[in-house]
Amino acid sequence: MDIVESIKLKMRQNKLSTTDIANECGISKYTVFNILQGKSHRFDYISAIAKFLEIPLLYPNQNLDSKSEIKLKEYFLATSTIEYIINNNSTLIITKEKLEEFIFRVYKYILLNPNESKLYTAYAEGLLEKYTNK
């Protein structure tokens, strides 16, 4: 997961809007929006937002904070989605490390998009080539 995904997740967890972030970081809400949409990659702004949200820049996906815990229901949904895909593609080859990263990406997608259950499998299938030697 990249820093922008970590920012989005922290914002959802803390119920913060782009305006909240903009006001706290001294930047415009449009700049925050552009960062969240991937249209701006200004390190100084991303760094300010990450600092405010207490997201480490070196390892942004490392637990997000020391109190972070896995949401078991969502994690189980991610693993079940990937298990379904793997069972339907018996020729896939994937390393343990890549499988863990694959599960984590699908898990984060589920956390960021809780109301899009019909898209979980499609998202995972879209990532399939990145994590397998298909």
**Is the distance from CB of 5 to CB of 108 less than 8 angstroms?**
yes
Please report whether residue 61 resides in a domain: no
Please report whether residue 94 resides in a domain: yes
122-to-32, 66, 70, 73, 89 alpha-carbon distances in Å = 28, 31, 22, 19, 14
Q: Distance (Å, rounded) from C-alpha 71 to C-alpha 94?
A: 25
Give the burial string for 16-26 (b: 16+ CB within 10 Å, else e): bebeebbeebe
> What's the CATH code of the domain at 39?
1.10.260
Residue numbers of the domain that contains 125 = 72-131
Number of structural domains the chain divides into: 2
Note the pLDDT tens digit of each residue in 83-102.
888 888 878 888 888 888 88
Note the pLDDT tens digit of each residue in 61-84.
544 444 456 778 888 898 899 888
Please report whether residue 24 resides in a domain: yes
